[in-house]
Structure 1
Amino acid sequence: MPPPISSSLMLLLVLIPVSHFISPACSTSRHGFSSAAPDGIRVGLTHVDSRGNFTKLELLQRRIERGNHRLERLKGMAKLAALDTGNDIQSPIHPGNGEFLMNLAIGTPPLAFSAIVDTGSDLIWTQCKPCTDCFTQPTPIFNPSSSSSFATISCTNSLCQALPTSTCSPTCEYLYSYGDSSTTQGILASETFTFGSSSSKVSIPHIVFGCGDDNEGGGFSQGAGLVGLGRGPLSLISQLGSGKFSYCLTSIDETKTSPLLFGSLASMHDKGVQTTQLIKNPAQPSFYYLSLEGITVGKTLLSIPKSTFALQQDGSGGLIIDSGTTITYLEEVGYNLLRKAFVNQVKLPVADASPTGLDLCFSVPSSTSEVAVPKLIFHFQGADLDLPPDNYMILDSETGLFCLLIMQSSGMSIFGNVQQQNMQILYDSEKGTMSFAPTQCDQL
């Protein structure tokens, strides 16, 4: 019997209040990096739409639109990478945007601001005075001259050299570009970053970040900058030196925060933990690639060719896990087989999906209280992710549309954040692995 999905399931993430908690920690500086103490750091994430008063359908449309745009940016990056002839060439374009915000503070005394969290890029940056061109942000713009801990970074610093585009005049200046044509430009600097609330907070010195005085494009107006959690040396996870981080995204119909954990707090001890190897892509070194070896719908292992989700030698193809993309996008051959399996196994008429922005929806009679859906299992290398129905099907009780939260892609595949809800996802950079386990995220 396939698992039922409740008709009360809401369409999208609703308002999420922000809360932050920090375990006591100290920090040390080495090679220009800062490291958190083994106690680790805990921060709450809130969704970028939490300040808006949107209907469920509007929320769905906004998230799908952002997801489609991010997919196109990622695909464009993959195409550029495939054109590079050298194995050590990194495309200077990054996906940008994201779905979640974290609150933090910068400087001494600390100035609070919110930043987009992005596992698809590395640079940490915020807008800085005096602005040549800055977008409107919800908090005051950081003024380096008001902070006693601000320091510029020299051009010989390894993190300056890790930038895809930089100049020396005479300190390190950067230009970081995103796929929607948004850019941030300014100087690379070092500052004290503070995490947590007034009752429990920790300050970590010597975090290297972009102090942007020329920031163009509309992709970042939800916050005041961006915190990269990618695999490169500029990212927050690399600079903290903790070696691992995890997050646990609450259900899309929850109003609670999603925990983001660093260091030992990120550890997982549940017996149901499964682990798969992360793959490195020299053409896109910031991304977290996984080896997707197959997909089961219901009791049927789909006959997807093994090469469908494989990372190609030129850096194209493959599948990344990404917190900033809403839903999962699968390479065309694999998606078409999955779609056909759902059409065959869901005993409902196919409906027009255009109001939602999705591809496959079914029509649910108003008299129906619950709908049976086939199981969906993603088979990664050494790990099988058996998704709960809420992570891949969604029901809008107002329109009676019952939709698959997976769409088609070409050139690369993405495992999105809706599929990750109520899963603790652990990234271990030292072991080069990703682990996951079903978790009630609002209780973590």
Structure 2
Amino acid sequence: MASIPSFSTAMILVLATILLFVSPACSANKEGANHHTEAHNGFRLSLKHVDSGKNLSRFERLQHAMKRGRQRVKRFSAMVLAEKSDSKVKSPVHAGNGEFLMDLSIGTPPKPYTAIMDTGSDLIWTQCKPCKDCFDQSTPVFDPTTSSSFANVSCTDKLCKALPRSRCSDGCEYLYTYGDSSLTQGFMATETFTFDKVSVPSIGFGCGLDNEGSGFSQGAGLVGLGRGPLSLVSQLKEPKFSYCLTSISDTITSTLLMGSLASVNSTDGAIITTPLIKNPSHPSFYYLTLQGITVGATLLPIEKSTFALSDDGSGGLIIDSGTTITYLEESGFDIVKKEFISQVKLPVADSSTTGLELCFNLPSDTSSITVPSLIFHFDGADLQLPGENYMVVDSSMGVLCLAMGSSNGMSIFGNIQQQNMLVLHDLEKEKLSFIPTKCSQM
């Protein structure tokens, strides 16, 4: 483990209705940001939070997102249980859903759609005519017969062979399930996808004729950005992407950079990099090696095995844009919780109505609260989080809460903890990098 320096506490200022954190983000790295139309297989997209446009406070947004996040964690747990069961009949399950939407166009001529971005699954899919069982979407269902660039995928194609479950009938048919009875079923095809002004031909995707379950209705389908061969990032010539997520309280969109535009200046001293670990049981996920956690100046006495990836595919920690708060294996979270209670000099609140596992009562006669710093020690990368990325306040309830929770089966590094960082996934080098960035200014 890297040496642990001493860290000062972060100061949090409680104003009338918001919490301001004295932890300014570093300036953005904008390399290549203004030349995306010239980049070969590189492009830039805006990401819209699924709750944007709704009249919600920051805390209400967090609660809505956590409700979806708990369903996602259940899906992850279902995946672990499925791996541990002896049944060979079950179809593999995937994460599905997500917290961010992207705009794209499909076909020639291009037809606009909104899709869910999901870093926890691989398949790209949209609803297609003639739809047998489809959810309502804001745009017309894609009609393959109107596009000159549409082509069916044969059963011998590598895209068909990469599917977790398929059958050969009139072309390559697929079934992709998401762990809570949600599914998409249809046939594989290739098509030209247009992202902003960049068109990418022959992208393999699922034409969904039967699409069932909850959570897909925000868009017209899903774009998988996982590590498997079916994902969008794997199908690009440069298999890398980065995103920069604005604060959950911001109305400003976040940013997604794909392919050549995702590169960053490796000489920037603010970059910290850690290896991406593979789990053969769940090859789509981005696993990181979490070696320890420091709260304030205390390196917590968490057993190294707590966040380790087990031989049976369980355990480990993934980084995920579609899960809102960080979930730690229960025994590890209990130690984190105990240390925050010890160091935060406030009475513990009843958090049952907040949806979070640790909250403190805010005193009515103070304008500033001191909270301990929080550092995640990944392999080769000590990531100190700004206060806004792990402490949230609801002034109407008078509580200050830790934006983390407990889990069983695996740990998840969520998107609240990734706010105002450019997070680069490089599938070729098998590395992940964090660059402190003011995402609203990208």
What TM-score do the two structures reach when normalised by structure 2?
Answer: 0.91
> Do the aligned partners of 1:80 and 1:91 also contact (CA within 8 Å) in 2?
no
Matched residue SS, 2:293: strand
Deviation of 1:56 (Å): 4.2
Distance 1:58 1:424 in 2: 25
Match for residue 403 of structure 1 among 401, 412, 433: 401
Give the letter for the 2:178 counterpart: Y
Matched residue SS, 2:113: strand
Distance 1:435 1:84 in 2: 37
Deviation of 1:85 (Å): 9.5
Which range moved further: 91-100 or 124-133?
91-100
Distance 1:69 1:94 in 2: 13
Distance 2:58 2:440 in 1: 21
Matched residue SS, 1:53: coil
Which residue of structure 2 aligns with residue 151 of structure 1?
Answer: 151
Which residue of structure 2 aligns with residue 62 of structure 1?
Answer: 64
> How many residues are treated as equivalent by the alignment?
419
Deviation of 1:58 (Å): 3.4
* Residue 23 (1) aligns with residue 19 (2): no
Query: Which string of whole-angstrom CA distances, capped at 9 and with x for unpartnered residues, describes residues 125-173 of structure 1?
Result: 0001111010001211111111111111000001101111111113001
Matched residue SS, 2:304: coil
Match for residue 283 of structure 2 among 269, 282, 285: 285
> Do the aligned partners of 1:90 and 1:284 also contact (CA within 8 Å) in 2?
no
Distance 1:290 1:85 in 2: 29
Give the letter for the 2:81 counterpart: K
Distance 2:45 2:149 in 1: 23
Which residue of structure 1 aligns with residue 253 of structure 2?
Answer: 257
Alignment of 1:293-312 (within 5 A): 293-312=291-310
Which residue of structure 2 aligns with residue 415 of structure 1?
Answer: 413
Give the letter for the 2:258 counterpart: F
Match for residue 205 of structure 1 among 201, 207, 210: 201
Query: Which string of whole-angstrom CA distances, capped at 9 and with x for unpartnered residues, describes residues 18-43 of structure 1?
Result: xx9871247xxxxxxxxx44xx2111
Distance 1:342 1:6 in 2: 18
Distance 2:142 2:70 in 1: 32
Alignment of 1:421-432 (within 5 A): 421-432=419-430
Matched residue SS, 1:308: helix
Deviation of 1:52 (Å): 2.9
Distance 1:110 1:251 in 2: 32
Which residue of structure 2 aligns with residue 163 of structure 1?
Answer: 163
> Do the aligned partners of 2:91 and 2:177 also contact (CA within 8 Å) in 1?
no
> Do the aligned partners of 1:81 and 1:284 also contact (CA within 8 Å) in 2?
no
Deviation of 1:378 (Å): 0.2
Q: What 5-or-longer segments of structure 1 have no aligned partner?
A: 12-19, 27-35
Query: Which string of whole-angstrom CA distances, capped at 9 and with x for unpartnered residues, describes residues 366-394 of structure 1?
Result: 22222111010000001000001000000
Which residue of structure 2 aligns with residue 370 of structure 1?
Answer: 368
Deviation of 1:57 (Å): 4.4
Query: Which string of whole-angstrom CA distances, capped at 9 and with x for unpartnered residues, describes residues 221-243 of structure 1?
Result: 11110000000000000111212
Match for residue 48 of structure 1 among 27, 47, 50: 50
Deviation of 1:422 (Å): 0.4
Matched residue SS, 1:355: coil
Which residue of structure 1 aligns with residue 178 of structure 2?
Answer: 178
Matched residue SS, 1:350: coil
Q: Which 4+ runs in 1 deviate beyond 4 A?
A: 8-11
Q: 1:205 to 1:21 in 2, by over 3 A?
A: farther
Query: Which string of whole-angstrom CA distances, capped at 9 and with x for unpartnered residues, describes residues 282-320 of structure 1?
Result: 000000000000000000000000100000001000000
Deviation of 1:244 (Å): 1.0
Give the letter for the 2:55 counterpart: N
Query: Which string of whole-angstrom CA distances, capped at 9 and with x for unpartnered residues, describes residues 224-268 of structure 1?
Result: 100000000000001112121100101222221111111232122
Give the letter for the 2:172 counterpart: C
Q: What fraction of aligned residue pairs are identical, expressed as a percent?
A: 63
* Residue 240 (1) aligns with residue 236 (2): yes
* Residue 214 (1) aligns with residue 210 (2): yes
Which residue of structure 2 aligns with residue 314 of structure 1?
Answer: 312
Which range moved further: 347-356 or 51-60?
51-60
Give the letter for the 1:7 counterpart: V
For the aligned residues, what is the CA RMSD? 1.9
Give the letter for the 2:247 counterpart: S
Which residue of structure 2 aligns with residue 32 of structure 1?
Answer: none
> Do the aligned partners of 1:77 and 1:91 also contact (CA within 8 Å) in 2?
no
Give the letter for the 2:249 counterpart: D
Which residue of structure 2 aligns with residue 94 of structure 1?
Answer: 94
Distance 2:53 2:214 in 1: 17
Deviation of 1:91 (Å): 6.2
Which residue of structure 2 aligns with residue 4 of structure 1?
Answer: 11
Which residue of structure 2 aligns with residue 29 of structure 1?
Answer: none
Which range moved further: 323-332 or 395-404?
395-404
Distance 1:204 1:10 in 2: 43
Which residue of structure 2 aligns with residue 193 of structure 1?
Answer: 193
Q: 1:252 to 1:10 in 2, by over 3 A?
A: farther
Which range moved further: 164-173 or 312-321?
164-173
Which range moved further: 77-86 or 209-218?
77-86
Query: Which string of whole-angstrom CA distances, capped at 9 and with x for unpartnered residues, describes residues 327-354 of structure 1?
Result: 0000111101000000000011100112
> Do the aligned partners of 2:344 and 2:370 also contact (CA within 8 Å) in 1?
yes
Give the letter for the 1:358 counterpart: L
Which range moved further: 372-381 or 238-247?
238-247
What TM-score do the two structures reach when normalised by structure 1?
Answer: 0.91
Distance 1:312 1:299 in 2: 30
> Do the aligned partners of 2:124 and 2:231 also contact (CA within 8 Å) in 1?
yes
Give the letter for the 2:36 counterpart: S
Query: Which string of whole-angstrom CA distances, capped at 9 and with x for unpartnered residues, describes residues 385-428 of structure 1?
Result: 00010000001112111000010111110000000000111111
Deviation of 1:203 (Å): 1.2
Give the letter for the 2:165 counterpart: T
* Residue 386 (1) aligns with residue 406 (2): no
Give the letter for the 1:372 counterpart: T
> Do the aligned partners of 1:188 and 1:208 also contact (CA within 8 Å) in 2?
yes
Which residue of structure 2 aligns with residue 74 of structure 1?
Answer: 76
Which residue of structure 1 aligns with residue 339 of structure 2?
Answer: 341
Matched residue SS, 2:305: coil
Distance 1:25 1:153 in 2: 29
Which residue of structure 1 aligns with residue 140 of structure 2?
Answer: 140
